[in-house]
């Protein structure tokens, strides 16, 4: 079998070695229910709270403010439905993940007014646009920290100040930011903050929601008194242990890893963008997470490029993995002002802990080869046939 290279870490990450070891050990050695009072239950409770402390430390918050969930989608839903009620007004943006946009659409059906603020052409949502959208009944502003397709980072601190001045709460979808950025939630000013384990080299199916102390949420699930009555259901202790181990790794190694990823990303971008003037970067070049490049190849189908690279052994993406299979162009890129053709000609490269400089160089070669091959076949370049 030929060698394969993974450059789709924004979709999901490979489970880290230390995380896998912690996960399998918990599966094997911690059989109890964390709500039980006997020895096995108390051991499970200790492991659960250890994971909570590790996640809290990564975010610079109190462990009491961490609610474990099944992932980013549930955390986003809990934040939105936990605060918004019929008759109130919610502000979000046109570049959010479907895990925010679709709950907002459902909230509208339940009598909540929703305003979707458009980004600037560079993918950044202007704080003044949030300010202009505020109403007397605005209860919640929901803005992602870093975009899953472009990697563009939003001015969360300024948006938090604007929201709080108007008496509104701020929810931040931090699924693509945690680890890739040094996240200090008190400094950001978020009241609610979502994260997902499988973006951090933890397993799929576990995540967390930060809930500012004193903030009351209406739960999505009703049952026992788990997670301080904020999320009913027996906790997935092995997955929480794994998430805690991943959080600890990022807490100890994040600064070095972010610098390494930024260097690899720049190496990739500079090489690809130098090929010719028909290749462009989508999104702000500076206000980005260090691992993400969204590149537009004029006249080339993004799906064709993904397939061509896959045949060469490289996994990349033409957009959000949660929207794969959709025939529509990326709603993120369209919201930024690209037309449908431009949006469909864009590719996301997202690097991670397993990638090396040699792999990046191999990806550049494969991308350039695929580009020239597809360009010869593209009707946009009939003169080159």
CB 117 within 8 A of CB 130: yes
The region that residue 232 occupies, defined by phi over 0 for left and psi between -120 and 50 for alpha, beta otherwise, is beta
Active-site option among 88, 104, 110, 322: 322
Give the Cα separation of 81 and 79 in Å (integer).
6
d(CA 107, CA 114): 8
Q: How many residues comprise the chain? A: 385
- The Cα–Cα gap between 89 and 259 comes to 40
> Is 104 a residue of the active site?
no
274 vs 312: CA distance, rounded Å: 22
Burial of 25 (0-12, 13-18, 19+ CB in 10 A): middle
Tokens of 112: 């909540």
Q: Are 156 and 190 in contact (CB under 8 A)?
A: yes
**Measured CA distances, 26 to 13, 19, 39, 246 (Å):** 20, 11, 15, 14
Torsion of CA 218, 219, 225, 228, to 10 degrees: -70
| Residue 344 CA neighbour count, 13 Å, CB half | 13
Instruction: Measure the CA angle with vertex 237, ends 202 and 58; round to 5°.
Output: 50
Q: How far apart are CA 257 and CA 197, in angstroms?
A: 17
Contact 54, 247 (CB under 8 A): yes
CA atoms within 13 A on the CB side of 312: 21
Pairing of strands 192-196, 207-211: antiparallel
Which alpha helices (H) appear in 11-134, and where do they start and end? 17-29, 39-59, 72-83, 98-109, 127-133
Q: Which residues are catalytic?
A: 322
């Amino acid at each position: 079998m030929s060698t394969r290279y993974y450059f789709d870490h924004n979709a999901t990450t490979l489970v880290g070695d230390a995380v896998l070891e912690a996960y399998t050990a918990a599966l094997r050695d911690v059989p109890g229910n964390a709500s039980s009072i006997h020895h096995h239950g108390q051991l499970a409770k200790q492991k659960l709270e250890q994971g909570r402390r590790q996640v809290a430390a990564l975010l610079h918050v109190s462990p009491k403010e961490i609610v474990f969930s099944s992932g980013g989608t549930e955390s986003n839903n809990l934040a939105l439905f936990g605060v918004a009620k019929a008759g109130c007004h919610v502000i979000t943006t046109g570049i959010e993940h479907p895990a925010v946009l679709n709950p907002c659409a459902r909230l509208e059906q339940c009598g909540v007014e929703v305003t979707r603020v458009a980004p600037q052409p560079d993918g950044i949502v202007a704080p003044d646009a949030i300010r202009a959208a505020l109403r007397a009944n605005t209860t919640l502003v929901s803005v992602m920290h870093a975009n899953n397709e472009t990697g563009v980072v939003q001015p969360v601190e300024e948006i938090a100040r604007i929201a709080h001045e108007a008496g509104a709460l701020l929810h931040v979808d931090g699924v693509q930011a945690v680890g890739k950025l040094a996240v200090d939630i008190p400094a950001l000013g978020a009241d609610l903050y979502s994260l997902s384990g499988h973006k951090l080299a933890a397993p799929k199916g576990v995540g967390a929601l930060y809930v500012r102390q004193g903030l009351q949420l209406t739960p999505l699930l009703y049952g026992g008194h788990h997670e301080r009555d904020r999320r009913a259901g027996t906790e997935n202790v092995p997955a929480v242990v794994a998430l805690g181990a991943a959080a600890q790794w990022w807490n100890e190694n994040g600064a070095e890893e972010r610098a390494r990823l930024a260097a690899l990303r720049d190496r990739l971008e500079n090489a690809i963008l130098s090929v010719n003037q028909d290749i462009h970067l989508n999104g702000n070049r500076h206000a980005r997470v260090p691992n993400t490049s969204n590149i537009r190849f004029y006249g080339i189908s993004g799906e064709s490029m993904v397939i061509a690279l896959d045949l060469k052994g490289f996994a990349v993406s033409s957009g959000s993995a949660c929207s794969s299979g959709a025939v529509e162009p990326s709603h993120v890129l369209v919201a930024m002002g690209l037309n449908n053709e431009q949006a469909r000609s864009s590719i996301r490269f997202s690097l991670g802990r397993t990638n090396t400089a040699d792999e990046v160089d191999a990806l550049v070669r494969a991308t350039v080869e695929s580009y020239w091959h597809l360009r010869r076949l593209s009707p946009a370049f009939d003169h080159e046939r």
